[in-house]
Each structure stands twice: as C-alpha cells, then as structure tokens.
Amino acid sequence: MLSILSLQVHYLQFIYTSIGYKRMHLYAYHHLAQHHNKERGQVLMMSLKSISLTFAVAISAVLASTFVINPSPSLFLKQLIELGFTIEAHFYHQHHHNKHPSKDQIVNICDDFPPDIPPPDTNITSTLCVDRNGCCNFTTVQSAVDAVANFSQKRTIIWINSGIYYEKVTVPRNKQNITFQGQGYTSTAIVWNDTANSSHGTFYSGSVQVFSNNFIAKNISFMNVAPIPGPGDIGAQAVAIRIAGDQAAFWGCGFFGAQDTLHDDRGRHYFKECYIQGSIDFIFGDARSFYEDCQLISMANPVAAGQRVINGAVTAHGRSSKEENTGFAFVNCSIGGSGRIWLGRAWRPFSRVVFAFTSMSDIIAPEGWNDFNDPSRDQTIFYGEYNCSGAGANTSTRAAYVQRLNDTQASTFLNISFIDGDQWLLSYNNS
C-alpha cells in the first residue's frame, strides 16, 4: 500500500498563552496522503476525515514529535493509520455501547444537527447549508457555490458545519454577494494542497480562489497543506486563498500555509481578528487592504542567536506604479513566531506597506525591510512604521528608506477609510 502513496506533511502553528509563562508555539503536523493516479485524483483521507479539525491537530501534534526525532515517512504514515483506526474503533465503541440504544431506536449521525439550519430565506438573504456528513443541502462547499444564482442581488450565506473540507473551491465572478459562515477557525477549514508546479503558476495554486465582488468569510480557515518548501525549491509556492474581487471582508478567519499563504491579489479588502501563518511573503499581492487586530505568525525555521541569516518575510506588496492606489495597512496587530524575518520586501518598485500600533517580537530583523536587492526601488517604495512596540519595533537601525511616520502621515492608514470602508464595509455588519 505504501508504494502507491506519497506522504505530504505540513505543520500548522497554533498559539496559546498561559499566565506566568511565555507564549509558546505548537507546531502540529497535518497529514494528507494522495494516490499517484493523478487522473482519478482520488484522495485517501482514511480515518482523519471523520474527526474534527481541532482533534486532528491534537493527534498530529503527538505524532509530530516522533517524526522530528525519527524522520521516517513510512513510520509516520504507519503510526497515523494505526492511531486513526484506534480512534475510529473508539468512536464506534462509544457510539454503539455507551448510549445503549434500544432495539428499535435508530441512531443517526444527524440527530444532533441544529434544527434551525438553514433558516428561511428573507427578502435580502438566502442560506445554503454544507455538512460533510450529508445532514443538510450540500456535502461540499463548491457544490453550494455552484447553486448560487448568477449575479444575485441577495446575499447568499453558505453555512458550513464544523469539519475539514478537502476540496479546491472557486468562487467565480458571477457568484457575487456570498458569505462563507464557518463554526470557528479552529473548527471549520477548507483544505487543499496545490503548488505553483502542480497548478501551473502560484496564482492558480489557491485552495480557495475568490473572483467575485462582495465576498465575506466568518469563522473559517483556509489552508494549503502542500509540503513546506526547502531552501532553493522551485515552484513550491502554495496559496491558501486568493482574493481577486472587490469589497471583500474576513472576520475571525485563519489562513495557514508556508510560502505565499494569503494572496491578497486585487481590490479593497478588510481583515478583522484573523490568524495568518506563513514563512516567506505570506501576505502578498497588489490589493488595498486593511488588517485590524490580526495575529501574523511566522513559521520560518528558528535562527540561532548571533546569526544574521534572513529566512522569511511577512509581506510582499506588488504596487507597480505611483498611480495605483493600493497598499497594505496593519493596525493593532501582533507579529510573532519563529525565524528571522523582514516586515516586507519590495516585490514591485512602488510597494506600499504600513504597520501602526503593532507589537513586534524579536524575530524582526533590525533593518526591518528589504528592497528586493534592487537599490533603485529605494526612492519609490513606501514602507512606514508608526507607534509600534516590542523587541522588533526598534527603528534605530532600520533601512534608510523606511519612514517613521508622524501623526499626519499615519492618519491615512489608521482606519477603514484607507479602503473606503465607510462606503461599503459598514453595510456588512449584519450580513
């Protein structure tokens, strides 16, 4: 069986804080085994497909320590399968013996499904329901998206039950006004494993790709579980979500990947209380976006004290001319994790990124930013910092082109007016 499987391992990073202790980082390996038969594209989920996202991460964390100590893919796969069967047998025992159903009682996996989901349609909203166990309208997210009327003026709320949905999802331009409503970013996730190589380009590797306007996501995670690229790997970029429509908003969402996690491609976008994980350029694109109260977590390899190596960057903004009104603004965010990284690097000559009131750990390199090793960009990029804090926020040794913004300069980037949010975002509060 092992001869027809390729093991792909990706780790997810979750943060927990305990009183009296430093913030700790748990790297949990997540497993995806796939047939070599690409034409059929069948994915073997084995027993992990039947357990919750939170439990799957916990199980993977236990196995991760074994894998790190003894990095044998065959052994890791064997342990994962054995543990999965053990858990499944335990669930079966609990389900069939602890409840002691009577002889005439039928035990249904949907018995505990919320009775008011989906709610009745209104004049302004319709609700579709996705549950992988078949307890409501659809079992896949893509099938629910496909069912939305083209160019609908009503908002369609796609309510997605807890679970891991292994599928590549596209929201085309004609499916506007859609909301993905998950049950918590550690409970509901859309997961796939394309790379730039497998999808013929980084831009097409996203596990979820949104091309429509007025897209909303709440309490859900977007993950790309392709193998973490090693130094010098070509074509290993792996996007979790690409957002290419205008007026998109994300509340309480998770974005998990390594290189190029969040493709903030184009349009005006808002992110509130989101968790964004990656290593290299893990927020990139040419959108005009406002990030508020978000956690930005680097999963780059740890760097020993005294070494000057750089192995990651938070942003890579793609503004290519001064006429473009694009850029990334981060306000009241926090940056942590591992590695030694830059706040951003100039993917395009007019790259524009500002961090304000943001807590930065010591993983930020003293120079802070990088001009993509092209000094000609130093006169055109706009990299600013304002009232940031933490060990990584010391601007005394920043690169010469970095701007220490005053109150007037910073005011443009400090609220949703940066993305014209007063014209469109406020109406989303009840969506």
Q: What residues are paired with 6 via a beta bridge?
A: 34
Q: In terms of residues, how long is the chain? A: 431
Positions annotated as catalytic residues are 260, 281
Q: What residues are paired with 75 via a beta bridge?
A: none
The neighbour count for residue 133, using CB atoms within 10 Å, is 13
In angstroms, rounded to a whole number, what is the distance separating the alpha carbons of residues 258 and 418? 28
Q: What residues are paired with 24 via a beta bridge?
A: 16
Q: Give the helix/strand (H/E) hosting 418.
A: none
In angstroms, rounded to a whole number, what is the distance separating the alpha carbons of residues 133 and 131? 5
DSSP string, 122-147: -SSEEEEEE-TTSSSSBSSHHHHHHH
Say if strands 5-16 and 24-35 run parallel, antiparallel, or are unpaired: antiparallel
Q: Name the one residue in this structure whose structure tokens are 């949907």.
A: 110
Q: Give the helix/strand (H/E) hosting 149.
A: none
What the block records as the tokens of 357 is 């009131």
Question: Which of 330, 358, 316 has its CA nearest to residue 415?
Answer: 330
Q: Mention every residue, 6+ apart, whose C-beta is less than 8 A from residue 6.
A: 33, 34, 36
Peptide bond into 302 cis (omega under 30): no
SS3 (DSSP) at 295 = strand
Say if strands 254-256 and 359-360 run parallel, antiparallel, or are unpaired: unpaired
Q: Residue 359: exposed, middle, or buried by beta-carbon count in 10 A (0-12, 13-18, 19+)?
A: middle
Q: Name the one residue in this structure whose structure tokens are 């929201």.
A: 171
What the block records as the tokens of 248 is 């998109």
What the block records as the tokens of 145 is 């998206």
Under 8 Å between Cβ of 284 and 263: yes
